[in-house]
Amino acid sequence: MSSSSTTTTTTRLLMLKASDGVTFEVEEAVATKLGAINNMVEEEGSEDLICLPNVNGKFLGMVLEWCKKHANNNTNSDKGNDEVNKWWDKEFVMDLDQNTLYHLLMAADYLSGTELVDLLTEKVASMIRGKKVEEIRETFKIKSDFLPGQEEEIRKKNSWAFE
């Protein structure tokens, strides 16, 4: 299985292999938006197949989709590009469930996709802002592991006492 990519014959193609064996054929210019791949390409030079044992195919596909969009939009140096990217980023993160968001963030971090990490950490922050602690735990399926004494201290820290 490989992702379709429309390319001209002049651009170099890289083959990325995910942990579950799924491979993606992508233009070098797209894949090198990821710092980790950029480093590998620079270090290993001629190697066209890159194995990524820490990233599942599903999420690698999503990361590459994001890279492709941003690489395409950046090639046209038109002023509205930033707007297009912003709009597209908004769509990209809008309906992510917490499970996908988590794996995508881990993948983006592992691949050193700094801009994508920024986008995803902002999405996580937006799911936290204003919320109650219980709601945050519920959103991210986290169980409190504080000792009862610590819980009590936290409750105190989060209450407002008037003089």
Beta carbon of residue 151, minimum distance to another protein (angstroms, whole number): 9
Give, to the nearest 10 degrees, the angle between helix 57-75 and helix 81-94: 160
* Residues contributing to the site for another protein (CB under 8 A): 19-20, 53-56, 58-59, 98-99, 101-103, 105-106, 109, 117-118, 121-122, 124-125, 128-137, 140-146, 154-163
| Torsion 2-5-50-92 (CA) sign | negative
Take residue 150 and report the two structure tokens written for it: 């610590």
DSSP state letters, 23-59: EEEEEHHHHTTSHHHHHHHHHHTT--EEEETTS-HHH
Beta carbon of residue 8, minimum distance to another protein (angstroms, whole number): 34
CB 55, CB 18: distance < 8 Å: yes
Q: Please say which residue, 79 or 141, places its beta carbon nearer to another protein.
A: 141
Beta carbon of residue 97, minimum distance to another protein (angstroms, whole number): 9
Which strand (E) or helix (H) includes residue 18? strand 13-18
